Amino acid sequence: MRAERREETAAALREQLHAADAGIDVPDGLWDRVRAPREGTPVAVRTPLLRRRPVPFAVIAVAAAAVVLVVCGTWWLVAPPSTGSGPAQDPAAPHPPEHAVTLRVHNAEVPCRKLRTMECSLRIAKNPFQPYANPDNAVGRVWHGDRLSASCVVTDGQLIKDENGLSSTRWYRVSKAHGEWREGATAGWLPGVRTRNTTEVPGCSGSERPSK
């Protein structure tokens, strides 16, 4: 029934459309007007007008790439420190230079190497030129096997002798990676006898050396 009514409508519509089609006169001179540029539309402007729609895929791809870049950049800038990446992690932390060397902490006392106790910890000093045993001269503690990043070395620090009798005046400027560091401390000094370094480390410049 509905199909019948639809067919009736279609028939009436066809009749209407054909009658209208037959009744529409094409105005004289239409072809000339269609081909001719419109008034006020300079010929030179027509080509850009025809290209109003650039390749949609290219536009979409470029826009999407821009959005992704902006979002990623923003995230990288404002990422919380807990995420472990981004400059906001620790603004005060010194940027490890390209020539930074990774050192492994060495404890001369064999029984202590497996223990992570206070008694077996090794001190990271605040100043390599002050007595190592000075209670104030500490920024943190590390244990045997901890890895630290050394940015430079001073060779004229306090002379330190370890439990095996090995002595050295070399001190490495290290930044935190492992171990326990005091709040606010980001870098300190590790006595040369507390590691077994075989890699060349550059000497500290004037600005990197603490006052004696």
Residue ranges that bind other proteins, judged by CB under 8 A: 5-6, 9-10, 12-14, 16-24, 26-27, 30-31, 33-38, 43-44, 46-47, 49-51
CB of 75 to other proteins, least distance (A): 38
Residue 150: phi, psi to the nearest 5? Answer: -100, 125
Nearest to 116 by CA among 194, 178, 183, 161: 178
- Whichever of 33 and 147 has its CB closer to other proteins, that residue is 33
CB of 71 to other proteins, least distance (A): 32
- Whichever of 17 and 110 has its CB closer to other proteins, that residue is 17
β-bridge partners, 181:
140
Q: Are 169 and 129 in contact (CB under 8 A)?
A: no
Residue count of the chain, please give it.
212
Residue 103, helix vs strand vs coil: strand
Reading the block at residue 184, the tokens are 């606010």
Q: Are 105 and 148 in contact (CB under 8 A)?
A: yes
- Whichever of 44 and 92 has its CB closer to other proteins, that residue is 44
CB of 63 to other proteins, least distance (A): 22
- Whichever of 30 and 118 has its CB closer to other proteins, that residue is 30
Q: How far apart are CA 120 and CA 142, in angstroms?
A: 9
CB of 52 to other proteins, least distance (A): 9
Q: How far apart are CA 33 and CA 44, in angstroms?
A: 18
Q: How far apart are CA 197 and CA 205, in angstroms?
A: 20
CB of 80 to other proteins, least distance (A): 46
- Whichever of 45 and 64 has its CB closer to other proteins, that residue is 45
